[in-house]
Amino acid sequence: MRRNSSETKRKILTACVRLFLEQGYKNTSVSQIVDEAGVARGSYLNLFPTKDKILLDLVETMFGGQFSVARSIADQNLPPVFAYAVETSLQLTLTELNENLREIYIEAYSVPDTAEYIYLHTTAELKQIFGANFPDYSDSDFYEMEIGTAGLMRNYMARKCDIHFPLERKLSRFLTAAMRVYLVPKEEQERVLAFIGSIDIRELAVTVMHKLFAMLEMKYDFKLSTDGETEKRR
């Protein structure tokens, strides 16, 4: 019975991730999921009472290695705030490259369970990066600050770039606001913004997106076709 349950869960997760990437989170219905997975509706509801529970599994995979990727891009000799700037800039840029990713990220920052995962996952990183600016702050203090800066992130993600609000301006606005929250000195803020402006953040985000899709393909056992749609592995 446990083996059957595990196989059913795998089929559901595979179907959901494929559908979320292909047509968006909100446009994916329970009926589509069970049809795609080839499972009974009751089996689906027993394992995942809501779509939000599936989103949490996906978010854990997506957010798992973000800071390590950012550190690999930022020079190790630079202060850790540079890695923070790269990581957050990549998230914001990814949502400009793919509308379905934008929706997944926005939902992740909005749904209570996934938002809580993000807060907890990010708190330790924030304390490591900005702890020297707040020597008396506890993990709880950084958790509460993350609630605020995560809200900034979500709102900037939701506002699409256009000719009046290009990506470079969006990144600058978000980073300036976030660094002020974490008491980054003005001179260092300027160096961080100059660094982000000096790298090709779009090209880096495309690379990260392809790596993310490859990781999702491997974990959930599906294949993205060259035209951006998804197809089952045979």
Q: How many CB atoms lie within 10 A of CB 75?
A: 10
Tell me phi and psi for residue 229, to 5 degrees: -90, 170
pTM of full prediction above 0.85: yes
**pLDDT tens, residue by residue, 162-202:** 999 999 999 999 999 999 999 999 999 999 999 999 999 99
**pLDDT tens, residue by residue, 80-118:** 999 899 999 999 999 999 999 999 999 999 999 999 999
